């Protein structure tokens, strides 16, 4: 079945009397719909198989096949069973006839002579319902296209992940190995300019390796996650153990209060705390020892965890941009990084149904907060 090419809903007018069809067209002609005539029940059934209709106005008394039989055939056909039927009749003799009409599939009755206002009001209701269903159908189709496009993007992302894991990292490891060997074996034989180039190459390859690692973490977030009870105290202890060399090198202390148990993905929550504590160690002030505090407070419907440092702080104008991919507020020469760490943090928190934000002042440190649903 087809729809009208300009998107107009169609109304099927069924009557064996030509003059009655002309009268209906006169009453409904300005309602923004296409009016289709059918002079008799068999003609109506043929039209129903050709296109979609928003509503059918069906005369009950017709010689070839009456309105009750037409309605029964319409309801028995899966392709037409959803077309609303309004019966038009000059006589409604008894309750039995009324019940027969509703039993055959009618949604309403109108008595002849027709009241133009009532007829138009009822037809308008079904036109609006049809247009609403059409819009919903179009939106569903658009969402399906979007989902298909997202699935293709996810497939491409998985392919990239595999390439980054093997095809890109393997030659990069070889390059780093040879650069390290060259630095060890040829350091005494290289002039200062060559030595500078060598060190720059080693730093660039290290940055590339860090960036690939961050991209792999970010790509991994597109996979489904587990939902279990996670003790944030245990997660924090694991993070502190893995960051122990960095903590020691910075002369830092990490302290805080008791953390709650939440529902989430343990590995991703580990990555979240790892990134936040790593930032506190990286963006430290040279004027004071590094102090990082991790605390939590439990509200009625959420848990709020704070990671506070006494580092260099963040300018107020930059406090939103730092969560965007590859946005850096410091040069690479000042602080190395990939520009993805806080983007990964935001993605993890939002996947858990939470929110992430920061308060900070320049040279006064920063406090990152993330809120997670309690249960």
Does one domain contain both 211 and 289?
A: no
Give the confidence band of 103 by pLDDT, cuts at 50, 70, 90: low
On whether the CB atoms of residues 285 and 251 are closer than 8 A, the answer is no
**How far is Cα 314 from Cα 365, in angstroms, rounded to an integer?**
8
Together in a domain, 260 and 325: yes
Instruction: Output the domain CATH number for residue 69.
Output: 3.40.50.2300
The residue among 114, 133, 162 that closes a domain is 114
Q: Is residue 104 predicted with pLDDT exceeding 70?
A: no
Tell me whether residue 132 is in a domain.
Answer: no
- Token digits for 205? 């390859």
**Residue 237 and residue 208 share a domain:** no
Residue 126 within any structural domain of the chain: no
Question: With b meaning 16 or more CB within 10 Å and e meaning fewer, what string describes 175-207?
Answer: ebeebeeeeeeeeeeeeeeeeeebeebbeebee
When mean pLDDT is compared across 37-46, 171-180, 352-361, the lowest value belongs to 171-180
Predicted pLDDT at 306: 95
- Please write down the HEC assignment for all residues of the chain: CECCCCCCCEEEEECCCHHHHHHHHHHHCCCCCEEEEECCHHHHHHHHCCECCCEEEEECCCCCCCHHHHHHHHHHCCCCCCCCEEEEECCCCCHHHHHHHHHCCCCEEEECCCCHHHHHHHHHHHHHHHHHHHHHHHHHHHHHHHHHHHHHHHHHHHHHHHHHHHHHHHHHHHHHHHHHHHHHHHHHHCCHHHHHHHHHHHHHHHHHHHHHHHHHHHHHCCCCCCCEEEEHHHHHHHHHHHCHHHHHHHCCEEEECCCCEEEECHHHHHHHHHHHHHHHHHCCCCCCCCEEEEEEEECCCEEEEEEEECCCCCCHHHCCHHHCCCCCCCCCCCCCCCCCHHHHHHHHHHHCCCEEEEEEECCCEEEEEEEEECC
Question: Which tens digit of pLDDT belongs to each residue from 258-301?
Answer: 999 999 999 999 999 999 999 999 888 888 899 999 999 988 88
* Whether the Cβ atoms of residue 365 and residue 281 lie closer than 8 Å to each other: no
Helices 192-220 and 341-351 meet at what angle, rounded to 10?
10
Provide mean pLDDT across the span 187-200.
79
Whether 363 has a pLDDT exceeding 90, the answer reads no
Q: How many CA atoms lie within 13 A of 248 on its CB side?
A: 5
291, 292, 279: which is closest to 339 by C-alpha?
Answer: 279
- Identify whether residues 197 and 243 lie together within a single domain: no
Give yes or no: residues 244 and 356 share one domain.
Answer: yes
282 within a domain of the structure (yes/no): yes
Whole-number average pLDDT of the chain? 85
Encoding tokens for residue 160?
Answer: 């990239």
* Count of domains observed in the chain: 3
pLDDT band at 371 (very low <50, low <70, confident <90, very high): very high
pLDDT at 188 > cutoff 80: no
> Residue 113 contacts by C-beta under 8 Å, 6 or more apart in sequence?
none
**Is 208 in the same domain as 246?**
no
Q: What is the pLDDT of residue 350?
A: 93
Range of the domain at 93: 10-114
pLDDT confidence of residue 164: 66
Q: Is residue 131 part of a domain?
A: no
Residue 336 belongs to a domain with what CATH number?
3.30.565.10
**Once rounded to an integer, what is the mean pLDDT over residues 299-311?**
91
- Do 17 and 67 fall into the same domain? yes
Distance, in Å, from the CA atom of 240 to the CA atom of 278, rounded to the nearest integer, reads: 10
Side by side, the strands of the sheet bearing 253-256 are 253-256, 291-298, 302-309, 365-373, 355-361
Q: Is residue 130 part of a domain?
A: no
**Per the confidence metrics, is the pTM higher than 0.75?**
no
pLDDT in tens, 55-68: 999 998 888 888 88
Percent of the chain with pLDDT over 70: 88
Asked if residue 143 belongs to a domain, the reply is: no
Cα separation, 233 vs 239, whole angstroms: 10
Please state the rounded mean pLDDT for residues 134-160: 85
Residue 367 φ then ψ, to 5°: -130, 115
- The reply to whether 215 and 338 lie within a common domain is no
Contact 374, 322 (CB under 8 A): no
Least confident of 101-115, 143-157, 219-233: 101-115
């Amino acid at each position: 079945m087809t729809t009208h090419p300009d998107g107009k809903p169609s109304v099927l007018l069924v009557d064996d009397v030509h003059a009655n069809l002309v009268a209906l067209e006169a009453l409904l002609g300005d309602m923004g719909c296409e009016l289709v005539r059918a002079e008799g029940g068999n003609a109506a059934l043929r039209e129903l198989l050709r296109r979609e209709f928003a509503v059918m106005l069906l005369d009950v008394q017709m010689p070839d096949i009456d309105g009750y039989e037409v309605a029964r055939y319409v309801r028995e056909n899966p392709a037409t069973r959803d077309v609303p039927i309004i019966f038009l009749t000059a006589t409604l003799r008894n309750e039995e006839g009324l019940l027969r009409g509703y039993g055959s599939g009618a949604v309403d009755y109108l008595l002849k002579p027709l009241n133009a206002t009532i007829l138009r009001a009822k037809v308008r209701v079904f036109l609006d319902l049809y247009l609403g269903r059409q819009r919903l159908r179009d939106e569903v189709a658009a969402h399906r296209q979007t989902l298909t496009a997202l699935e293709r993007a996810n497939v491409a992302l998985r392919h990239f992940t595999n390439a980054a894991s093997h095809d890109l990292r393997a030659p990069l490891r070889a390059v780093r190995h040879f650069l390290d060997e060259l630095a060890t074996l040829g350091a005494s034989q290289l002039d200062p300019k060559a030595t500078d180039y060598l060190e720059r190459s080693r730093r660039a390859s290290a940055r590339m390796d860090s960036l690939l690692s961050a991209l792999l973490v970010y790509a991994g977030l597109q996979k489904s996650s587990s939902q279990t009870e996670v003790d944030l105290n245990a997660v924090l202890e694991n993070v502190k153990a893995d960051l122990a060399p960095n903590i020691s090198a910075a002369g830092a202390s990490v302290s805080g209060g008791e953390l709650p148990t939440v529902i989430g993905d343990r590995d991703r929550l580990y990555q979240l705390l790892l990134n936040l504590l790593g930032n506190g160690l990286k963006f430290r002030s040279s004027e004071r020892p590094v102090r990082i505090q991790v605390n939590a407070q439990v509200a009625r419907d959420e848990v709020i965890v704070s990671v506070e440092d006494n580092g260099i702080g963040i300018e107020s104008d930059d406090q939103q941009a730092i969560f965007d991919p590859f946005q850096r507020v410091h040069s690479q020469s000042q602080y190395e990084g990939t520009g993805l760490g806080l983007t990964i943090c935001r993605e993890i928190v939002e996947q858990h149904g939470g929110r992430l934000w920061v308060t900070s002042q320049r040279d006064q440190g920063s406090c990152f907060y993330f809120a997670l649903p309690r249960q």
